[in-house]
Amino acid sequence: MKYLQLEKVEMIFDTKRGRFHALRDINLSVEQGEFVSIIGHSGCGKSTLLNLVAGLILPSSGAMLCAGREIAGPGPERAMVFQNHSLLPWLTVYENVRLGVDKVFGATKNKQQRDEWTRENLALVHMEHALNKRPTEISGGMKQRVGIARALAMEPKLLLMDEPFGALDALTRASLQDSVMEIHGRLKNTVLMVTHDVDEAVLLSDRIIMMTNGPAATIGEILDIKLPRPRKRVELADDAAYNHHRAAVLKFLYQRQRRPEEAA
Amino acid sequence: MTVLAMKKTLDSPQQTEPKSEKAVVIIPPVIAVPPPAASRFADTGRWVVRILVPPVLGLVLFVLLWALISKGSEGLPGPHETWLSAVELFSDPFYVNGPNDQGIGWNILHSLERVGLGFGMAALIGIPLGFMIGRFAFFNGMTAPIISLLRPVSPLAWLPIGLLVFKEAQPAAVWVIFISSIWPIIINTAVGVTKVPQDYMNVARVLNLSEWKIFTKILFPAVLPYTLTGVRLGLGVAWLVIVAAEMLTGGVGIGFWVWYEWNNLNVAHIIIAIFVVGIIGLLLEQLLLLMARRFNYE
């Protein structure tokens, strides 16, 4: 069964300067356990697509199903890792994660179990040493780790990530990508990630959704990445299949979907 | 560290020191310890010059100007005369000589009590009201015209209404404090609620938090700095208004005391009262700034 299914989804925003047709005719289905990336130039509506799946905004028309149920609003079963981590600055690392844990497992787990579950998830992203620190006291990479732990701790059926590593330096990004690959390998959760980094998309994904330029952006091409897991970034650097996929994405982005201002 | 660099640190900060002798003694045996000590001394010196000298100089000039003006004027007492009067006044701050003649301590405490009452009620009502206005657009639309109409009204214009409703001077004064300090509290809180980052609200929506959890975990801590700014402004207004309100209503209090001493033509006491009001206002403000710093998480 398709886990996530979007059919003929359209998104039109009513702005002060009139109607803006952001997305048109989005058809997409994602299998359980699949890691899918959405890539495209900025302004192509990839974050809008993610917000639709998250339920933060509702589509103008079309159908969206997650695990056979209509997406009518946000919910913890579709946890989101935000671009700028969005940790609450007045709560400690532990409390930030615990907030979601209490909400999702308040009825099914007792206090001690929830405490253990919170610590377990922070250990998963290697942040158990900073439980009682506030977000202002830890680095950007660490904040994003906590953001991932908060999302994972809700045991989401679908993990949504909106350019999760966009604001990080290259080395931190690589180490977090490895963590995400490791976690995905272990938990086999379904992931939908927005990115603008070609290497990141090829390295992490089972499939890459390539978006055409906006306005009225849609899915231009879908690329299957048939690389065996676990993947090692250093080995893949010389891998012919990897570079072939990489070239395919680059061609799509820089030849077929050149930005309008560059084409002119 | 080179000798040259060493010489530099020793040279520049303290010109008054007989440096040649010191430099000779220090350089050969130790390398690391003396230069920091010297520069720390220089740092304190620079700190004194930058932080302490301007305000002290300003105060000295102010007092000089005051002395000069009082020399040329007939009724205005100079700094020295005022100082002597203040020493006498504060040597017995808590005497009671009938209802109209009590020590400066009692006057201050009574004024603080009125401000505390009126301002406390303003905070108690204003903060929840501000949250409601910020959170619910409908409520905002309902209250916006009333607030914009009443906010610019001079605080003392409310006094007759208070006298009429409460039939007594004391609650009327508290009422004036209440009504004049509530506006900044409401408005800052409401603005704070609308300024809560959308990201935090999205977190709340993804987590599906209840309205109560949203309030305690997200809205309240996020808005607190704004609310505290409103509280600080409100308290400032309250302390401004109390003198005027007490002049009109009478009773024991710093404002009435000013009026009473004016009738006695004791101008030195009036000047003392001005300083007392200023210093207490300053202390209250600093207290709230301290509190605001504690709750600022940025």
Query: In this structure, are residues B211 and B188 in contact, taking their beta carbons and an 8 Å threshold?
Result: no
* Averaged pLDDT, B283-296: 89
- How far off is chain B from A63, nearest CA to CA, in Å? 20
Query: In this structure, are residues B77 and B136 in contact, taking their beta carbons and an 8 Å threshold?
Result: no
Query: In this structure, are residues A215 and A44 in contact, taking their beta carbons and an 8 Å threshold?
Result: no
The reply to whether A47 touches chain B by the CB within 8 Å rule is no
Residue of A48, A58, A103, A158 to mutate, interface with B, max B Cβ within 10 Å: A103
Please give the pLDDT value at position B67.
92
Distance CA A62, CA A7 (A): 6
Please give the pLDDT value at position B232.
93
CB-CB neighbours of B280 under 10 Å: 17
Q: Which of residues 96-155 of A touch B (CB under 8 A)?
A: 99-100, 103, 134, 136, 154
Nearest CA in chain A to B209: A103
Domain span(s) for CATH 1.10.3720.10 in chain B: 91-294
**Residue B208 confidence (pLDDT) above 60:** yes
- How far off is chain B from A21, nearest CA to CA, in Å? 23
* Averaged pLDDT, B84-99: 84
**Residue B27 confidence (pLDDT) above 70:** no
Please measure the distance between the N-terminal and C-terminal CA atoms of chain B and give it in whole angstroms.
39
- Among residues B220, B202, B201, B209, the alpha carbon closest in space to that of A100 is found at B209
Distance CA B140, CA B143 (A): 5
**Residue B193 confidence (pLDDT) above 50:** yes
**Residue B29 confidence (pLDDT) above 50:** no
List the structure tokens of B287. Answer: 């207290």
DSSP B130-166: HHHHHH-HHHHHHHHHHHHHHTTS-GGGGHHHHHHHH
What SS3 class is residue A45?
coil
- Among residues B270, B271, B255, the alpha carbon closest in space to that of B107 is found at B255
- Between A81 and B99, the more confident residue is A81
CB-CB neighbours of A212 under 10 Å: 18
Residue of A71, A85, A86 to mutate, interface with B, max B Cβ within 10 Å: A86
**Biggest CA pair distance of chain A:** 62
Task: Give B12-20 contacts, CB < 8 A, sequence gap 24+.
Answer: B12/B42, B13/B38, B13/B39, B13/B41, B13/B42, B13/B45, B13/B46, B14/B38, B14/B41, B14/B42, B14/B45
- How far off is chain A from B293, nearest CA to CA, in Å? 13
Whats the size of chain B, residue-wise? 298
- Residue A5 gets the label, from left (phi > 0), alpha (psi -120 to 50) or beta, of beta
Query: In this structure, are residues B226 and B187 in contact, taking their beta carbons and an 8 Å threshold?
Result: no
Q: What does the pLDDT look like over B237-274, one tens digit per residue?
A: 999 899 899 988 888 889 998 888 888 888 999 999 99
- Among residues A132, A127, A135, the alpha carbon closest in space to that of A88 is found at A135
Q: What is the mean pLDDT of each run of 10 residues along chain A (264 residues)?
A: 87 88 91 93 87 92 90 88 88 93 90 93 89 91 90 89 86 87 88 92 93 87 89 88 91 79 52
Which residue numbers of B have CB closer than 8 Å to A's CBs?
197, 199-200, 202-203, 205-209, 213, 217-218, 221-222, 297-298
**Residue B13 confidence (pLDDT) above 70:** no
Please give the pLDDT value at position A175.
86
Please give the pLDDT value at position A245.
92
Residues ≥6 apart with Cβ < 8 Å to A157 = A3, A66, A67, A77, A78, A189, A190
CB-CB neighbours of A178 under 10 Å: 16
**Residue B277 confidence (pLDDT) above 60:** yes
CA A109 to chain centroid, in Å, comes to 27
Please give the pLDDT value at position B211.
86
**Residue B32 confidence (pLDDT) above 70:** no
Does the ipTM surpass 0.85?
no
Query: In this structure, are residues A167 and A109 in contact, taking their beta carbons and an 8 Å threshold?
Result: no
Please give the pLDDT value at position B14.
42
Nearest CA in chain A to B197: A86
Torsion, CA B233, CA B239, CA B243, CA B246, rounded to 10: 110
Q: Which CATH superfamily is domain B91-294 in?
A: MetI-like (1.10.3720.10)
Confidence of residue B37 (pLDDT cuts 50, 70, 90): low
DSSP B36-62: HHHHHHHHHHHHIIIIIHHHHHHHHHH
* Averaged pLDDT, B41-52: 81
Nearest CA in chain B to A74: B206
Please give the pLDDT value at position A194.
94
- pTM metric for this prediction: 0.75
Is beta strand A4-15 parallel, antiparallel or unpaired with respect to A18-30? antiparallel
H or E element at residue A12: strand A4-15
Is it true that the peptide bond before A230 is cis, omega within 30 degrees of 0?
Answer: yes
- How far off is chain B from A195, nearest CA to CA, in Å? 19
Please give the pLDDT value at position B298.
67
List the structure tokens of B129. Answer: 């009201």
Distance CA B282, CA B298 (A): 25
Nearest CA in chain A to B198: A86
Distance CA A116, CA A101 (A): 10
Most confident of A40-44, B35-39, B74-78, B285-289: B285-289
Please list the alpha-helical segments (H only) found in chain B. 3-11, 19-26, 34-47, 53-72, 79-91, 104-135, 137-150, 159-166, 169-194, 198-207, 211-213, 220-249, 254-263, 267-294
**Residue B12 confidence (pLDDT) above 60:** no
The reply to whether A21 touches chain B by the CB within 8 Å rule is no
List the structure tokens of B122. Answer: 């303003």
Distance CA A37, CA A252 (A): 15
Please give the pLDDT value at position A256.
80
